[in-house]
């Protein structure tokens, strides 16, 4: 999904993460620590310390963006609760 988005928008992974952070996506994103500990730590650290994406490789940021979009899609489809 992310590869399609980057081809359409030209955004780099860090740009997209800053955009998501600015739109408060990190505050509402639910990440299961038992399934995706690395992303959970990334989201938690970003919420606490602010966006510091230069500490990660482009490949890692791309993985995070892709996973965040996947989670957001799944969470928006889940109306039970």
Query: What DSSP element (H or E) covers 67?
Result: helix 58-77
Model pLDDT for residues 26-75, shown as the tens digit of each residue: 999 999 999 999 999 999 999 999 999 998 999 999 999 999 999 998 88
d(CA 75, CA 73): 6
Mean per-residue pLDDT, 3-27: 81
Closest listed residue to residue 6, CA positions, set 70, 81, 79, 66: 66
Res. 4 pLDDT band, cuts 50 70 90: low
Closest listed residue to residue 73, CA positions, set 65, 24, 9, 19: 65
Mean per-residue pLDDT, 20-24: 95
**What are the residue ranges of helices labelled H in 12-57?**
13-22, 25-28, 37-49
């Amino acid at each position: 999904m992310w590869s399609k988005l980057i081809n359409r928008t030209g955004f780099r992974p860090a740009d997209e993460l800053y955009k998501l952070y600015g739109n408060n996506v990190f505050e509402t994103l639910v990440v299961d620590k038992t399934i995706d500990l690395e992303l959970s730590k990334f989201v938690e650290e970003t919420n606490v310390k602010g966006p510091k994406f230069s500490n990660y490789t482009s490949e890692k940021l791309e993985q995070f963006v892709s996973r965040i979009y996947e989670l957001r899609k799944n969470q928006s489809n889940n109306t039970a609760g």
